[in-house]
Structures are given as structure tokens and as C-alpha cells.
Amino acid sequence: MKEKLLLAVMLAASFSVGAAEKPLHWGYEGQESPEHWGKLSPDFTLCESGKNQSPVNIHDALRTHHSKLALAFRQGKQQIINNGHTIQVNVSDGNTLSTGKETFTLQQFHFHAPSENEIDGKQFPLEGHFVYQNKEGALAVLALMFQEGEANPQLAKAWQQMPAKIEQAAILTQPVDIKALLPEKFNYYRFSGSLTTPPCSEGVIWMVLKQPVSASDEQIRQFHAVLHHANNRPLQSLNGRVIID
């Protein structure tokens, strides 16, 4: 199961794009839009039938004492890529997330505009997803909301080399300082969910940071101008899931 989940996220998020790879036939518009994902391929059936799907509207969270997030950061080589579905930054080893006894290593981070998850019915203009994986192949996603405000200097480092064409990639001359990109406090909501792209594999730990950071209107428009369409999956039913505060 975990091996399949790892393969799924590699395909869905396009960790690397090779010349011999066939394009993924799903998207956000027309006959390949989210409402059709479950019928596009037998591998995508969870997009339609899954009961623990993401994203969700976070509300009525259960207050409890869940594990604090311990994040470690290491500057290293970063590759930015336009995979046609998002703008993604692949990172080198050394960035980790620990919750209690579990430790996950950051693989990549990417963006959705507008936000996929909502907090008490509020949608944000941009959302970042930091995709982590542990040694067993389980996945955890740390979600960061951006609200319109001052220009974000860390986002600017990535945006200045944002590839305009699909399958274009570049090594960032100024790597994003992930620690500086994230808010000072790591208070978060936690729930069990799925990938928000086909094949919509479940069993993904979601941690949505409560505190948003800023991005300018121009930075948000730059992202839209490159993708040419919104890239957010619609909200999915909780189906009885409990969100932990």
C-alpha cells in the first residue's frame, strides 16, 4: 500500500519529467476537470469513490493536545518546474518534519491558486503544499495559506525563475529559504486525507497551518498568468472525519 502511495504521489506531482514519459491526461478544465477524474482511468477511481478525500473545509475542529511540529531546515539545491498542473520546487535532502515519534523528509513543495483547503469557509488566494515522506513511504502534507498583502521575498526567489512553458525546469540561483517562508508559529489543524490530484490516493496526513503568510497581488497574478487556469480541486466531504485542532 505504501509503495503504491509513493508511486502515486510521484506520478501526480511529477517529481521529475523525462522525455520518454507520457503526459498525464487530467486537468482542471473541460472533460479532464476534477468532476471527471474518477472516470478518466481505472487508477483514478478513488477520486470518485474515496471517503477520505482532500481538500476540505476546516470547521468545528476538535480541541486536543496533539503533537507539536518540529521542523528542521537545510539550504541546498532546488529545482523549479512547470509540470502543467502546478509550479513545483524539488528540494535536496535535509529538511525534516517530526510529529511525536514520526519523522518525514521534504520531497517538494508546490502551489494552488486559489487555495484548495478552506478554514471556516474562507478561501485564500494561494496555498502551498509541502510534501513529506517517511522511511516507510507514508506521506504527510504541510499546507500553508497565503493572504494578499506585502510581496513575499521568498516567493520572489522562485517566481523570478518560474518556467512559462510546460516541462520547463531550472535550478534556482537563489534557493527559497523555507524556514523564512513559513510563519513563526506552527499551530495547525490535522486530519486524514488524500492527494488532491489523481490518483487521489488516501492515507495522507494533512497538517494545515493556522497562520497565513503574505503574497502580493502581483505575485498571485504572476502564478495565474503562467498556469492560465485555476488549479484547485473542489472541496470534498468529511464523511465523518474528525479534524484535530
List beta partners, residue 103: 98
Give me 22's grid cell.
507520457
* Cα torsion through 196, 174, 162, 182, rounded to 10: 30
Selected catalytic residue, list 25, 85, 112, 229:
85
- d(C-alpha 97, C-alpha 33), whole Å: 32
Give burial (CB, 10 Å; 0-12/13-18/19+) of 231: buried
- d(C-alpha 66, C-alpha 63), whole Å: 9
Active site residue 110: no
User: 206 vs 113, 148, 236, CA distance in Å?
Assistant: 18, 23, 14
Q: Computed from CA positions of residues 150, 156, 162, 164, in that sequence, does the dihedral angle turn out positive or negative?
A: positive
The residues carrying an active-site annotation are: 85
